[in-house]
Amino acid sequence: MNLVEAGRCSRLEANEGGKTMPSINELEVYAQENHVPIMMKTGIEFILELIRNQAYTRILELGTAIGYSAIRMAKLSPQIQIDTLENDPERAQLALVNIAAQQLEPQIHVHALDIARFQTDQQYDLIFVDAAKAQYPRYLEQFRANLADGGVFVFDNLNFHGMVEDPSLTENKGTRQMIKKLRRFREMLMTHPDYLTQFYPEVGDGVAVVSLLRK
């Protein structure tokens, strides 16, 4: 199914007479039916509460997918500005459609490119990482200089459906290699002197909130 067909089936594209506005529930259903990874409900509610409590307004998201998380975050306040990066051009295009339908283009800026190629001097209150799991250590190093004073990284999927704790849940060689890297990353976050990490294994698929003790 191409993007246009998928959009028609799920009401996630602009129609000829204007723009549809898919509900949050419709975005969630679309993601489930089309195997698009988005945050679990407890995970997204956790990050929304963090943004509200800390009054974060500048956000960098690694891994746009269909725009679900960015839309949820932007809807908290018109003051919120989000740069979101997606290396899959079809998903980035669908995210743009969904963001436009919500009239959030002034707040959410989609960058369709390899994350490694993104460069900016912008300082962010929150850097939300939900992209390629094996690349989490690289993302942390790449963007630590972009974290504003008092800001945090948030990493999702650190349980990876329970497989980090119990690798026997998968027999896929590639997945096992990835979860080994996730396990090492978790251990590094908890022991590295540069990071203050709070790990919430019960939230979503395992969420870590990471502050920098020094850049």
Residue with tokens 């929150």: 126
Listed in sequence order, the residues at least 6 apart from 119 whose beta carbon sits closer than 8 Å to its beta carbon are none
- CA 51 to CA 167: how far, in whole Å? 33
The angle formed by the CA atoms of residues 17, 20 and 23, to the nearest 5 degrees, is: 165
| CB distance 4 to 10 below 8 Å | no
Mean pLDDT of 138-155: 97
- CA 215 to CA 213: how far, in whole Å? 7
Percent of the chain residues past pLDDT 90, beyond the cut: 80
Q: What does the pLDDT look like over 32-51, one tens digit per residue? A: 999 998 999 999 999 999 99
Helix (H, G, I), strand (E, B) or coil at 19: coil
What structural domains does the chain harbor? Answer: 39-212 (3.40.50.150)
Confidence of residue 20 (pLDDT cuts 50, 70, 90): low
pLDDT at site 40: 92
Confidence of residue 93 (pLDDT cuts 50, 70, 90): very high
Confidence of residue 5 (pLDDT cuts 50, 70, 90): very low
Beta bridge partners of 212: 195
What DSSP letter does each residue of 179-210 carry, written as one string?
Answer: HHHHHHHHHHHHH-TTEEEEEETTSTT-EEEE
Q: Buried (b) or exposed (e) across 73-111, using 16+ Cβ within 10 A?
A: bbeeeeebbbbbbbbeeebbbbbbbbbbbbebeebbebb
Q: What does the pLDDT look like over 154-206, one tens digit per residue? A: 999 999 988 988 888 888 989 999 999 999 999 999 999 999 999 999 999 99
- Residue 124: phi and psi, rounded to 5, are -120, 140
DSSP state of 145: G
Model confidence, pTM: 0.87
* pLDDT at 3 exceeding the cut of 70: no
